[in-house]
Structure 1
Amino acid sequence: MLVTSMEKSQSHVVIFPFPLQGHIKPLLCLAELLCHAGLHVTFVNTRHNHNRLANLRALSAHFPTLHFESILDGLPDDHPRTLGSELLIALKTSIKPHFKELLQSSLKANSVALPPPTCIITDGLVTFAFDVAEELGLPVLSYNVPYARYMWTCLCLPNLIEQGQLPFPGDDMNVEITGVPGMEGLLRRVDLPGFCRVKESSHPGLQFAIHEAQTQKRASALILDTIYELDASCLSHMANMFPKIYTLGPLHSLLHSQIGDVSRSLASHGGLWKGDPNCMTWLDSQPTKSVLYVSFGTLVTLTRTQIIEFWYGLVNSGHPFLWVVQSDITSGIGEDPIPMELEIGTKERGYIVNWVSQEEVLAHKSMGGFLTHSGWNSTLESIVAGIPMICWPNLGDHYIISRTVCEKWKIGLRLKENCDRKDIETMIRMLMEFKRGEIQSSMDSISKVARDSVTNGGSSNHNLQMLIQDIGNMHARPQ
């Protein structure tokens, strides 16, 4: 059934991201896409994150049907709010009742400007929203930030336990995992997330991961920030578990395809830190495809030894580098003085910055490679920009992403976990010099698939139109 513009204008989607940077930005992209199509969207953040969001005025001006609400998370103002037990507890104890109260108020409201909620799109990690939605009789769509292959692996964990592949019998971490359909010949024990490396299947961490993954099956639909053509082998199996799956990736590229150059002025939307504009001037001074961009995201922490080893590897490689370090680099290495050769090498060909607009940086003509933690947002942004990667995975879905990037798509190189300065230098030279043409050729092919997916007739563009249509039908369906 076709949905009219009137029915779209009466549709109201409430979106609630997990309260971390890497979850807020893609869901805000999705919110903007839905508003651009004529739907009302209420984007709910914790008060702490709402107060830090960049470009709120510009977003509200460009998307008049985008509304922002904030709720308390119950944590002290000075709490770091990193991914951990305190934040997860806050979701259940403090954030859940505030979110439910907000929805109940919205359902009771009788406003022409903002109709009652039609459905909830919740971050897959915010599983309490499933309970709230079901209590209030609202359809819930689950958006999952982690990579689709990771989510599918988590859904297969009960089967791996039943088959005796978990917990690991033996210590060889290179043994192939065979119980995840669609990933034959790719997945090894070492590629599984940390909660799989336990001795007992009853371990709370493993059981928590299983429960969270199984909860997703209660969703009316699943939304994934991936490209269908790249993950079809897994998605075909996942389709048996969910009523509908919408692959909309790369979301930031899909947004640009819909609103054009306006998206560039909003490139920092969803950011909780202010980028350094001076790094772009520095990039302008560098030769084409000469710079290695280095960023390990917002959750990975480095020890003093790791910082020094990466720093030496970068300087010794001889290539220009732009390195994102969120706090003062000297505080990251303690009170010991920085070796003079590092200071000199950085002044000659490096630039260290607290934060950047990553999309803008990766799209710069001087960019030649990306040393990354293999977070999915960063990986997608690198693919769209056509920038080959050095992968240094650390947690969660990073290991599966790294394995896919390096072994399946051949668009990156894997840096071992316990690497030293020589390993880092060698890998940089491999990416930027010796294997540059080979890896860039593979990247050009994968990048084209991603970019084509968001154009007219592309899979992600088509799925976006289907999602908009289906949300409109939720409102239009007779009661």
Structure 2
Amino acid sequence: MADRPTDMAPVHVLVFPWPLQGHINSMLPFAEGLLGAGVHVTFLHTEHNLRRVDRAASPRLRFASVPDGLPDDHPRSVAHLSEIGRSLRPSASAAYRALLAPALSTGSNADGGFPPVSCVVADGLLPFAIDIAEELGVPALAFRTESACSILAYLSVPSLVGLGEVPVPAGADLDEPVRGVPGMEGFLRRRDLPSSCRGHGEAGELDPMLQVLAKYTAHSCKARALIFNTTASLERSALAHIAPHMRDVFAIGPLNAISAAPASATSLWREDDGCTAWLDGHADRSVVYVSLGSLAIISREQFAEFLSGLVGAGYAFLWALRPDMVGASQSAALQEAVDAAGKSKVRVVDWAPQRDVLRHRAVGCFLTHAGWNSTLEGIAEGVPLACWPFFADQQINSRFTAAVWGTGLDMKDVCERAVVERMVREAMESGELRRSAQALARQVTRDIAEGGSSASEFERLVGWIFPNRLRAQPVSLPSIQGTVQSTCPTMLSAMQCIP
């Protein structure tokens, strides 16, 4: 990545992720990429998260924090996402404004050697951060940590509602094809839509979470640009359908493949550093790596089905099983896994250095929740995926893995030992899946290399954020609200009333 031209004034970008592991995982490598281009970066955590992460800064990187308004012992889990969102905005706004205030001054050496903030890159799930920055005269870009295909689905919610596709009623045929998401008519089924598209409550109302996500996605058109952690070779069609609704779009991923920092730099969990040593004792492509991400919660019954399926497949497995994943029965679950498979064939850890694990020669497949970071990490390393999506965008990511890229298997909506066993064996043994996964990994490597699509897009983004471009007059804003209103007035009204 090219360095900043020496005749330009220093640029300072504030990067503000939604305060969950998956969002930090992609936005911190993005910040590191900016550092490599000569940009000063403030990476903004919540106070709770800043106490949990590695804070190793550099001369042009600093970490700052804002309160999230929740007590220290609050679980901040998947069951509390809406609570986090409701608390974060009123609690963080004042401290966030204070960080941006130096941009209004004329000083060039504000805050201990850092120049004033000249640009904000905020998570698209933090629309208030974009609005406050623009109010203060600081240009703001939105960063979506999900796949472009899932963002296109959220952007299409008004159309899906107008067509009667969403909410999907209880008891409906989930294999019915879906209209209304451009470019996906040939393979998208009801079961592949984001999980919140399914009916909520007895009357089948729209899930409140879906309304929020659709509203926030529409809000992205207010930002100066929308940044994706993806590459055109993976999601060219989705990016092309999103672009007309946005002022600009940058596809600069996969960022995990660009970052040189250790995975621990982004982790809110303590990683088990003995994983790779354990893998060293196994033959090439003989181990199944299992991780359902940082948010998924499974029942004791689901754990038993996964365990039985893994043992039945006959391969050694490394399982990243968070302490809160199976609830109160976690200790018993761990012992059950070891007893069932034998010590030499299973290692269960709270959290694993995932990038290091996936690139290890011993790993033959990845049983994953199909979160976007995990999907990209598996793709970048050429590892076949067996996908069991839990919620949100994971459903559509899983479908793309199986039906579009051909690099894995999709076992959504079922958790049965026989299915787990069969799919793990196929992911470990299928030459076709492995060839497709390795071919896609080679393409992604080309994308991030000099002259590749993602590398070129990142250079274009760096050029965009320097002052000569930031001072330019804003471009015209496409009238997405008019499109939404004509498609589904009720949905637009619902979006506008959500805080």
Q: Same fold (TM over 0.5)?
A: yes
**Is the Cα–Cα contact under 8 Å of residues 195 and 391 in structure 2 kept in the other structure?**
yes
Corresponding residue number in structure 2 for 1:76:
71
Query: Helix, strand or coil: the match of 2:466?
Result: helix
Query: Helix, strand or coil: the match of 2:25?
Result: helix
Shift of 1:289: 0.8
Distance 2:62 2:333 in 1: 49
Distance 2:350 2:324 in 1: 7
Corresponding residue number in structure 2 for 1:226:
230
Q: Please say if 1:464 is aligned against 2:465.
A: no
Corresponding residue number in structure 2 for 1:258:
none
Match of 1:373 among 369, 374, 385: 369
Distance 1:451 1:407 in 2: 22
With over 3 angstroms needed to count, the CA separation of the structure-2 counterparts of 1:334 and 1:393, relative to structure 1, is: closer
Corresponding residue number in structure 1 for 2:437:
443
Range moving further from structure 2, 293-302 or 6-15: 6-15
One-letter code aligned to 2:228: L
**Is the Cα–Cα contact under 8 Å of residues 9 and 39 in structure 1 kept in the other structure?**
no
With over 3 angstroms needed to count, the CA separation of the structure-2 counterparts of 1:375 and 1:109, relative to structure 1, is: farther
Question: 1:168-204 CA distances to partner (integer Å, 9 max, x unpaired)?
Answer: 4781211111211121212111111232112566654
With over 3 angstroms needed to count, the CA separation of the structure-2 counterparts of 1:131 and 1:104, relative to structure 1, is: same
**Is the Cα–Cα contact under 8 Å of residues 7 and 475 in structure 1 kept in the other structure?**
no
Corresponding residue number in structure 2 for 1:178:
179
With over 3 angstroms needed to count, the CA separation of the structure-2 counterparts of 1:107 and 1:355, relative to structure 1, is: farther
In the TM superposition, 1:76-475 aligns within 5 A as 76-83=71-78, 84-105=81-102, 107-108=104-105, 110-112=107-109, 113-168=113-168, 171-198=172-199, 204-255=208-259, 263=260, 266-327=262-323, 332-333=328-329, 343-433=339-429, 436-474=430-468
RMSD: 2.3
Distance 2:38 2:333 in 1: 56
Query: Helix, strand or coil: the match of 1:53?
Result: coil
Query: Helix, strand or coil: the match of 2:343?
Result: helix
One-letter code aligned to 1:280: T
With over 3 angstroms needed to count, the CA separation of the structure-2 counterparts of 1:315 and 1:466, relative to structure 1, is: same
Shift of 1:330: 8.5
Range moving further from structure 2, 129-138 or 159-168: 159-168
Query: Helix, strand or coil: the match of 1:443?
Result: helix
Gapped regions of structure 1 (runs ≥ 5):
256-262
**Is the Cα–Cα contact under 8 Å of residues 21 and 268 in structure 2 kept in the other structure?**
yes
Gapped regions of structure 2 (runs ≥ 5):
474-499
Shift of 1:475: 6.3
Query: Helix, strand or coil: the match of 1:448?
Result: helix
Distance 1:7 1:96 in 2: 35
Question: 1:309-353 CA distances to partner (integer Å, 9 max, x unpaired)?
Answer: 211221222101000011188965368688878515231311001
**Is the Cα–Cα contact under 8 Å of residues 374 and 391 in structure 1 kept in the other structure?**
yes
Paired-residue identity, %: 39
Shift of 1:164: 2.7
**Is the Cα–Cα contact under 8 Å of residues 303 and 326 in structure 2 kept in the other structure?**
no
With over 3 angstroms needed to count, the CA separation of the structure-2 counterparts of 1:40 and 1:315, relative to structure 1, is: same
One-letter code aligned to 1:218: K
Range moving further from structure 2, 343-352 or 291-300: 343-352
**Is the Cα–Cα contact under 8 Å of residues 11 and 475 in structure 1 kept in the other structure?**
no
With over 3 angstroms needed to count, the CA separation of the structure-2 counterparts of 1:334 and 1:382, relative to structure 1, is: closer
With over 3 angstroms needed to count, the CA separation of the structure-2 counterparts of 1:342 and 1:270, relative to structure 1, is: closer
Distance 1:269 1:64 in 2: 17
Distance 1:399 1:365 in 2: 28
Distance 1:338 1:320 in 2: 15
Question: 1:237-285 CA distances to partner (integer Å, 9 max, x unpaired)?
Answer: 2111112111011112123xxxxxxx25x33211111211111111000
One-letter code aligned to 2:82: S
Distance 2:164 2:431 in 1: 42
User: Which TM-score applies when normalising by structure 2?
Assistant: 0.87
One-letter code aligned to 2:10: Q
**Is the Cα–Cα contact under 8 Å of residues 150 and 397 in structure 1 kept in the other structure?**
yes
Range moving further from structure 2, 299-308 or 421-430: 421-430
Shift of 1:219: 0.9
Corresponding residue number in structure 2 for 1:260:
none
Shift of 1:135: 1.4
One-letter code aligned to 2:89: K
Range moving further from structure 2, 18-27 or 208-217: 208-217
Query: Helix, strand or coil: the match of 2:403?
Result: helix
**Is the Cα–Cα contact under 8 Å of residues 307 and 332 in structure 1 kept in the other structure?**
no
**Count of paired positions:** 463
With over 3 angstroms needed to count, the CA separation of the structure-2 counterparts of 1:222 and 1:331, relative to structure 1, is: closer
Query: Helix, strand or coil: the match of 2:264?
Result: coil
Range moving further from structure 2, 323-332 or 278-287: 323-332
Query: Helix, strand or coil: the match of 2:348?
Result: strand
Distance 1:332 1:439 in 2: 37
Distance 2:263 2:368 in 1: 20
Shift of 1:39: 0.7
**Is the Cα–Cα contact under 8 Å of residues 309 and 421 in structure 1 kept in the other structure?**
yes
**Is the Cα–Cα contact under 8 Å of residues 167 and 206 in structure 2 kept in the other structure?**
no
Distance 2:457 2:127 in 1: 24
